Chain A
Amino acid sequence: MNIYDIIFYLFAIVTLVSAAFVVSTKNIVHAAFFLIFTFFGVAGLYILLGADFIGVVQILVYVGGILILLLFGVMLTNKITNVEIRSGTTQIVPALIGVGLFAGILVLTMVSTEWKSAPGEIPFTTAYSLGKVLLTDFVLIFELLGILLLIALIGAASIARREKE
């Protein structure tokens, strides 16, 4: 067990424990707070795997954008603090079956996949090669992403506008 393993398990524990808190806490704002740690843990794992660009972008977009949106949604809801989220256990049997099936598929994939493990050589920088790939092989996808975001923008804004009126 070298230092990388220790750091890996540290990030993994941070991710899992905070995720458990996210689903078990009764205050939505607390849940949002624990979600920060989950995202951080995942970002740490990305960076540990050598995907530094994805790691930093994970923090930039998920923590800096999506979670803020979530928090705003919670805070804009009237008197949210007086409402306790009901997280009692109902429908245990169907849930168990569903989760069991999903876990089975996951484990099966994990076991049956032939994982390629090459001796780790951390790339110098991933952002540059990412840009190269985006400008050559995936240039259509790059432009389509722009259009997809435009559609998302228009859709989201018009829904928000309808709510307002």
Chain B
Amino acid sequence: MGFLQFIWDGIWAVLSLGNFALIKILLIANIILITVSYLVYFERKISAWTQNRIGPNRVGWRGALQPFADVFKLLLKEDIVPEKANKPLHTLAPFIALFVAFSTYAVLPIGPAIQIGEETVNLVVADINMGILYVLALTSIGVYAITFAGYSSGSKYSLLGGIRSSAQMISYEVSMGFSIAGVVMMAESLSPIKIVESQSGLLWNALIQPIGFITFVVAAFAETNRLPFDLPEAEPELVGGFHTEYSSMKFAGFFLAEYANMIIASAMIITLYLGGWQIPYIETLNLGTTVTTILQISAFMVKMGALLFFFIWVRWSIPRFRYDQLMSLGWKVMFPLSLLNVVYVAVIIMLFNV
């Protein structure tokens, strides 16, 4: 018994290291994988519903096992790298995309701190003070995946898609940064947890600074390369854009990264503008800590689901922008608006001293 106890203590020491960091990391990695694959399924189902079709319905109950079938298909496909491609960069591009998509989750909180035994566990992998800037920095690395994919494929479509996309992403990054500055002014912190806590009650940033909310959401759409901003992979003109020459798991890498980025974007919108895991005035109901925590985590999930549905809904309802429209929207509408938002928030704080 003593021996087993010893082993158990050892395992427990490793697992509880740094606020259960390892458990949280593994948990988050799995959650992302499952969510992403089902997000693809839901996208197909919702698009079918929008266009009055049935959608995937063969594998499993109403096609519920379709994601697994897709994964196995992609695993078994031949990996074709064109002769003209720059092979090392061609291989590395999907790695960068996936790496960025996964490492961003480290700072996004999904619920309030909970008590396990004597320890307080934050429902976030790492509560760094730079959380929001960390996400911004990683997003800016994401541009490289697309640029390198476009450059290294040796195909005209890829190069056009890649360079278009990187110009698009950096254009909207500016208005994203200024929108976030407005939130930071309200919360006086760069830590996602503090930002969520500053939006208690109905002080949601979406209600206080609607302009910033709109500019951030638009920028988030542009950063994830989703319709109406999917110029990089505009099928009618560019075949597949930057991933024209990708197949097998490398293509799956880009595909997964796109959906993972969608989840990140939703989580960011919720954290910054929609009050994170908070339900307004839930404290007044006196439900007890456990029930409140569970309700709050599910509130986060519900908000997440609603936003993801919104992402998919927009994709299948709105036509694509022309490239000059996209750039002038970014620089002439969203950028001045996000600047105005900073001034507006400064005035609001002056007036009400919130």
Are any A and B Cβ atoms less than 8 Å apart in their complex?
yes
A residues near B (Cβ < 8 Å) are 27, 29-30, 33, 36, 52-53, 55-57, 59-60, 63-65, 68, 71-72, 75, 81, 124-125, 127
How close is A79's CB to chain B, nearest CB, in angstroms? 13
User: Residue on A with the closest CB to B142?
Assistant: A64
Say yes or no: A127 contacts B130, CB within 8 Å: yes
Say yes or no: B141 contacts A68, CB within 8 Å: no
Say yes or no: B137 contacts A56, CB within 8 Å: yes
User: Residue on A with the closest CB to B169?
Assistant: A68
User: Residue on B with the closest CB to A81?
Assistant: B86
A-B contacts, 23 of them at CB < 8 A, read A29-B89, A33-B89, A33-B92, A52-B128, A52-B129, A55-B130, A57-B137, A59-B140, A60-B137, A60-B140, A64-B137, A64-B141, A64-B143, A64-B170, A65-B170, A68-B147, A68-B170, A75-B147, A75-B151, A124-B129, A125-B129, A127-B130, A127-B190
For residues 152 through 177 of chain B, which have their beta carbon under 8 Å from a beta carbon of chain A?
152, 159, 163, 166, 170, 173
CB < 8 Å neighbour of A68 from B128, B134, B166: B166
- Contacts beyond the supplied A29-B86, A57-B133, A72-B166: 8 A-B pairs with Cβ under 8 Å: A30-B88, A59-B137, A59-B141, A60-B140, A63-B144, A65-B140, A75-B159, A127-B130
Q: Could you give, for residues 113-150 of chain B, a 1 whenever the CB lies within 8 Å of some chain A CB and a 0 otherwise?
A: 00000000000000011100110111111011001100
Q: What are the 5 A-B residue pairs with the smallest beta carbon separation, nearest first?
A: A64-B140, A125-B129, A59-B137, A60-B137, A56-B133
Contacts of B134 in A (CB 8 A): 56
B residues near A (Cβ < 8 Å) are 86, 88-89, 92, 128-130, 133-134, 136-141, 143-144, 147-148, 151-152, 159, 163, 166, 170, 173, 190
The majority secondary structure among interface residues of chain A is: helix
The majority secondary structure among interface residues of chain B is: helix
Say yes or no: B133 contacts A30, CB within 8 Å: no
How far does the alpha carbon of A65 sit from the alpha carbon of B141 in the complex, in Å? Answer: 9
User: Residue on A with the closest CB to B173?
Assistant: A64
User: Residue on A with the closest CB to B162?
Assistant: A75
Given known contacts A63-B141, A64-B141, A52 and B163 CB-to-CB distance under 8 angstroms: no
Say yes or no: B130 contacts A30, CB within 8 Å: no
CB < 8 Å neighbour of B129 from A33, A36, A72, A127: A127
Interface centre among B89, B128, B140, B190 (most CB of A within 10 A): B140
CB < 8 Å neighbour of A30 from B89, B140, B170, B173: B89
How close is B265's CB to chain A, nearest CB, in angstroms? 17
How far does the alpha carbon of A59 sit from the alpha carbon of B136 in the complex, in Å? Answer: 9
Say yes or no: A33 contacts B143, CB within 8 Å: no
How close is B181's CB to chain A, nearest CB, in angstroms? 12
Say yes or no: A52 contacts B140, CB within 8 Å: no
How close is B67's CB to chain A, nearest CB, in angstroms? 32
How close is B126's CB to chain A, nearest CB, in angstroms? 12
Contacts of B128 in A (CB 8 A): 52
